[in-house]
Amino acid sequence: MNNMTAAGIVGLGYYVPPKIMTNYDWENIVDTSDEWITSKTGIKERRIAEKDICTSDLAVMASIEAMREAKVRPEDIDLIILATSSPDVPLSSTASITQHKLGCKNAGAFDINAVCSGWVHALEIGSKFVIDSNYDNVLVIGSEVYSRIVNWEDRATCVLFGDGAGAAILQKIENGRGIIGSWLKSDGSGAEVIQIPAGGIKKPISSSDSLEGEQYFHMDGRAVWNFAIEAFPQAVKELLKQINMEIKDIDMIIPHQANFNIIKAGMENLGLPMDKVFMNLDKYGNTAAASVPIALAESVKEGIIKPGDLVITVGFGGGLAWGANAIEW
């Protein structure tokens, strides 16, 4: 990276609940099998939050780790941006609840909802605040408790998701961990491909709760597959054009941890070997907006990403929304 000031990641953290739910556990609940789940998705287990744990609680745990690494105190945080599609409550914002729990008394806070590409969007938003405004420390979080919004009787979706959170502290920097570009896209014509039909003002949840499952997460699996195998490589290619770099310059891709077969198809489209992608979905399943920051933090912790690497983070999912960030580590 040159010596121009950029927004950089100076602290990372992630948290997953201690309770592990395996594919074999799901065999006792719905008509499925470890063999089917593994072959179709690559997922072997996922983490499930206890009933008294909220999305904000996971966000707090991930943020504490990120702040510790960045050596900043709660009162040093100027802004919190929280990406989630499983908020604690419809309002107030989960970011504000998290802000209070963390003790970030000097911070502004707001949520964004771009579903599984939420953190990729939040990172771009956060980088703009760092560079263009008087914000010294911006906390960007992805946190989800999907175990509470999926229908545990819908075998097509319930086995796919897990709970967790990831967080990053952004500061102005001159060298290392710099966000050098982002590319974001949306196609609202596919909004019904991934959705929770009820619970908003279009179809409020009634007191009788007679919604026949419409209060839960719904997904058209085939449509998601067709979208994701194109959106993933498109986001990478368009981002590289924007920053005047090439496929061969990429050292590591951190994709949304949706499905092994989607990621494999995307990497084949890009002409990249599988050793240039980091995956942990076998352990955590699909954690929606939390999946990219969890994977990024874990890959750095394991020493897979090294100083000087060009890292591409990619998100794709409900909205439909997709995008990518380029980070020079």
Catalytic residue annotation: 116, 256, 286
> Which amino acid is it at 305?
I
Find out whether 157 and 283 touch, Cβ atoms under 8 Å. no
Torsion angle in degrees (nearest 10) through CA of 67, 83, 54, 137: 20
Bridge partners of residue 109, in order along the sequence = 80
How far is it, in rounded angstroms, from Cα 112 to Cα 146? 16
DSSP 303: T
The neighbour count for residue 214, using CB atoms within 10 Å, is 15
One-character DSSP codes across 212-250: TTTTS-EE-HHHHHHHHHHHHHHHHHHHHHHTT--GGG-
Structure token pair of residue 150: 């999926």
Residue with tokens 């963390």: 102
Record the tokens describing residue 95, joined without a space: 């970011």
Q: How many CB atoms lie within 10 A of CB 171?
A: 18
Q: Cα 95 to chain center, whole Å?
A: 15
DSSP code of residue 4: S
Tokens coding 61: 């745990």
